[in-house]
Amino acid sequence: MYPLLFRTVLSRLDPEFAHHLGALVIRVAGVEPVASVVRRATAPGPDQSVQALGLTFDSPFGVAAGFDKNVTMGRGLGALGFGHVEVGTVTALPQPGNPKPRLFRLIADRAVINRMGFNNDGAAAAAARLRRLRRARRRPVIGVNIGKSRVVAVEDATTDYVRSARLLAPLADYLVVNVSSPNTPGLRGLQAVETLRPLLTAVRDAAGRTPLLVKIAPDLDDDEVRDIARLAVDAGLAGLIATNTTISRSGLTTDAAAVAAAGAGGLSGAPLKERATEVLRLVREVVPAEFVVISAGGVETASDVRERLAAGATLVQGYTAFLYRGPLWARQINRGLSHTR
């Protein structure tokens, strides 16, 4: 039913508007008594539980950052069967993001290009919503992804991240430093080891007991991936997320003129699958077994999740395929995982 709805209706809507419509449905799914009914049909089986970061994840599969930027869909996404929800990216200061249009579907590639620019209501608003979410009777594990405020100079980035960490870490199950979005000027430069080390150290200290992870780009070369993974271990982080969106446009099926018309931004979805898996394996080669590695990028099916787990992922995240597979996506993956365990 959803594929027909997507082809005939949703694909004709502006992608960002369609996302907001979907968010309304998801929020309804998190409100009782609807949530109890939905959960009975979507909940992962007990065989899917994962212990990581000192937490219990009902499923290894969760929602990547970017889907729930403003901490409004946590209960609904949990009811739909996701084992964790990574909210954000949240910045210390509220910001509108980049001018619209800024989200584009590449349907032939099952992909999306976005240049959202960390549009969000800011850390104070996120903190208030996280407090309410933590009081919920049923909720998934909640990670909080933090980024640099656009108006803050790159040289002042550490202070900006620390401000967010102090406010949000006490309310998060885990915290993520995002230095890999292509949509904030200068941000990816923070992935250089000599710059990243003091930033991660300062945020780790601000986060206190909350597990801290760093999220990296797929466009790093292999040696850079290994170096950052080693740094994350040396800095005492709990884990690493591989990967964010890519600035590459290679290997796409979509007409080149349409891709060019979409313009700059991060590409996500099926075309990222191969590189995301490669980066996962590179990271796992150089980190201890107990170090948490979350794999994201190009995940669509239960088979994809199993492949990432076999390649060394502790947990797996998705986002883009939600647009193409609909609200029962997590249920499909959870059922697929149960049938093979």
CA angle 114, 178, 119 (to 5 degrees): 45
Which helix (H) or strand (E) segment is 331 a member of?
Answer: helix 329-338
What value does the mean pLDDT take over residues 26-35? 93
Q: What mean pLDDT value characterizes the chain?
A: 93
Output the pLDDT for position 60: 97
Output the pLDDT for position 341: 52
**pLDDT at residue 25 tops 60:** yes
Give the residue extent of every domain in the chain.
2-338
Q: Strand 111-114 and strand 266-269: pairing?
A: antiparallel
Q: Which residues form the catalytic set? A: 181
Separation in Å, CA 296 to CA 71, 92, 132, 312: 20, 25, 28, 12
Which homologous superfamily is 2-338 in? Aldolase class I (3.20.20.70)
Output the pLDDT for position 339: 67
Tell which wins on pLDDT, 183 or 28: 28
pLDDT tens across 98-150, in order? 999 999 999 999 999 999 999 999 999 999 999 999 988 889 999 999 999 99
